[in-house]
Amino acid sequence: MTIEIVNDNPREISDIRVTIAEVEMITSTVPKAPPSLAAQVLSRLLRMGDDYHRNQSPHQAIEVYFQLAENHDETLEGKEALSRLMGIADEYQRTGNSHMARSLYDRLMTLEDV
């Protein structure tokens, strides 16, 4: 941190520099607040959706992701869930499962109104 000191008194300048250094030292050792319970739950839900997807349970993953995208769209987890839903829909389309891709795209379009 840089602070411009407008003062000619060397003693006062020295005192100010010591105080700034002390504040920086104290604040660097203060533990960071743990994430809120809601943030922890959202993070775990996103991880749960990822686990479902990785374990070949796309329907369960889709439901978890939609829950996050619909109810928590302003959070990082909600945005990540939306991205994962688009990825699953794209994957369905690439693998020739157009019906499932279309179903997901249609449901994703309803999120525009949320």
Indicate whether 108 belongs to any domain.
yes
Residues 6+ apart with CB under 8 A from 64: 45, 46, 48, 49, 52, 81
- Per the structure block, which two tokens stand in for 50? 């990822």
Give me the phi and psi of 10, to 5 degrees please.
-60, -35
Indicate whether 27 belongs to any domain.
no
Query: How high is the pLDDT of residue 112?
Result: 77
**Domain tally, the chain:** 1
**Mean per-residue pLDDT, 88-113:** 94
Query: How high is the pLDDT of residue 14?
Result: 57
Indicate whether 67 belongs to any domain.
yes
- Residue of 72 and 15 predicted with greater confidence: 72
Indicate whether 106 belongs to any domain.
yes
Please give the single-letter amino acid code of residue 27.
T
Indicate whether 60 belongs to any domain.
yes
Q: What is the pLDDT of residues 18-57, one digit of tens each?
A: 566 666 666 666 666 667 999 999 999 999 999 999 999 9
Domain that holds residue 93: 37-113
- Alpha-carbon distance of 19 to 58, in angstroms, equals 57
Q: What is the pLDDT of residues 51-80, one digit of tens each?
A: 999 999 999 999 999 999 999 999 999 999
Q: Name the least confident of 3-7, 19-23, 37-41, 87-91.
A: 3-7
Confidence of residue 11 (pLDDT cuts 50, 70, 90): low
16 phi-psi bin (left φ>0, alpha ψ -120 to 50, beta other): alpha
Indicate whether 12 belongs to any domain.
no
Indicate whether 85 belongs to any domain.
yes
Cβ pair 101, 90 in contact under 8 A: yes
